Amino acid sequence: MRRIGIGVVGCGGIARSHAAALKRLEQEGECTVVGCADLAPDKAKGLAEQFEIPNWYADARQLVEHPEVEAITVCTNPPFHVPATMMATALGKHTIVEKPMTMDLAEADRAIEATRKANVRFGVIFMRRFWPGAQRAHRAIQEGKLGSRLILGDCILKWSRQPAYYKDPWRGMWEGEYGAALVNQAVHALDMFLWLMAPAGQLETVYGKWANLTHPYIEAEDNAVAALRWSNGALGVLSMSISTHPQLGARITATGDNGATVSVTEHPEGRFGLNDIWTVPGEEEAMRQLYEQEQAEAQDHFKPFPIAHYWQLQDFVRAVREGRDPLVTGEEGRRSIELIEAIRLSTDTGAEVKLPLRTSAWTPPPWRDGGRPKK
């Protein structure tokens, strides 16, 4: 098996999950972690020392240009995801970026087109798709166990973020993070929602509202709701908040025209998603028993980091080796940002937004005090 040389761009908090996952893959002979890079040299050096990575740089280009690097994983702040991808693509290197890939649809399309033309692999981190429960629900839908068509879906996320979470000055800011709860926390659930509901066809209309109700020290949203309609007529509901009790979680459900419903529930945040609702005819009792078994086992796997990243990065490394697309491509990563864009446009206009969207027409509002919010 040929090892894939890989580098880590951006050495902040999430890079540790990537590095831990990649070092496990290295031990298994899948890849070699060549180096890491960060504009802050102490961060790059620290990550390299913690995970015994042989090379570290304060310039990402030096890492990407290393002859042993075939691919990079991008763990920077969101505004640098696409620039890093374009740099790697120009050098013939493969890229997987943390979510969101961007919040500019035109920029997303440029990255997707560039990577396709260069015949390099391009992926976006949505590691929750790799949970066994998520894979099981997706497979049941694809196999038609919910009937001939999906008719209803809902995506409910109730998490909590306290002031300490926003100690990094870019968090919750339009310029530094492209927003707050929708692009950082809820985007995971939105991705899974759209992935499970994909057999319903093209998402056609979105009517939504977002607001900042309990986090006055950030610029962007902490609550949002939306009503959705797909091209086959299926309806969907989204409700998300980071203003609730921290032990609440998230649940995505899909219902088909035979009345069957399946769910993926993450309760509380950070636990593997389980199938607590499963009404596929003939499978109810077996799945109830499996749910109870996995719920007990989940106590030993409370935090899916870095194991879920390991599963997704393993898929990416193998995609590079095999010359195929990873499970979560750039096109897949674009879907959730299009939905977020639609919710924001709908909030501004007070009208239903029709999809697909080709460009980003929404612009962040000026902060009400005329400047940066006070913490």
Identify the architecture of domain 4-127+307-329 in CATH: 3-Layer(aba) Sandwich (3.40)
Provide the pLDDT for residue 98.
97
Peptide linkage before 100 cis (omega within 30 of 0): yes
User: So what's the pLDDT on residue 325?
Assistant: 98
pLDDT at position 301, please?
56
Sheet holding 31-37, edge to edge: 55-57, 31-37, 4-9, 71-74, 94-97, 122-124
Residue appearing with tokens 């399309």: 109
Cis-peptide into 356, omega within 30 deg: yes
For 285, residues 6+ apart whose C-beta sits below 8 A from its C-beta are none
Tell me if 196 sits within 8 A of 153, measured CB to CB.
yes
Query: Which amino acid, residue 149?
Result: R
Q: What is the pLDDT of residue 250?
A: 96
Domain boundaries along the sequence of the chain:
4-127+307-329, 129-302+336-354
Residue 260: which of 280, 244, 276, 243 has the closest Cα? 280
Asked: is 129-302+336-354 a CATH 3.40.50.970 domain? The reply is no
Kindly give the interhelix angle for 330-349 and 186-196, rounded to the nearest 10 degrees: 110
Low-confidence ranges of the chain (pLDDT < 50): 368-375
3-state secondary structure the chain: CCCEEEEEECCCHHHHHHHHHHHHHHHCCCEEEEEEECCCHHHHHHHHHHHCCCEEECCHHHHHCCCCCCEEEECCCHHHHHHHHHHHHHCCCEEEECCCCCCCHHHHHHHHHHHHHHCCCEEECCHHHHCHHHHHHHHHHHCCCCCCCEEEEEEEEECECCHHHHHCCCCCCHHHHCCCHHHHCHHHHHHHHHHHCHHHCCEEEEEEEEECCCCCCCCCCCEEEEEEEECCCCEEEEEEECECCCCCCEEEEEEECCCCEEEEEECCCCCCCECCCECCCCCHHHHHHHHHHHHHHHHHHCCCCCHHHHHHHHHHHHHHHHCCCCCCEHHHHHHHHHHHHHHHHHHHHCCCEECCCCCCCCCCCCCCCCCCCCC
Cβ atoms within 10 Å of 72's Cβ, excluding its own = 29
| Full-model pTM | 0.94
